Amino acid sequence: MKHNVVDARGRSCPEPVVMTKNAIDKFDGQPIEVLVDAMVAVENIKRFAHNQGFDVEVIKNEEDYTLIIRK
């Protein structure tokens, strides 16, 4: 299953949210995977995605986070 990946690691807000918004704008039904390395980005992206009507699953990795965004 192919899905969309947004790698926003190393970027400071609001860039990860803007990158996520661009992926959501092109949403094709496939889950969007967003990679970030800051908890503040996790919270901001979760809030944004929920406001757009998406569900967000957060997976904590060693140094970063993976957010799976689904409709």
Residues annotated as catalytic (active site), given as ranges: 13
Q: 31, 37, 69: which is closest to 50 by C-alpha?
A: 69
- Within 13 A of 38's CA, how many CA atoms are on the CB side? 14
What is the three-class DSSP state of 1?
coil
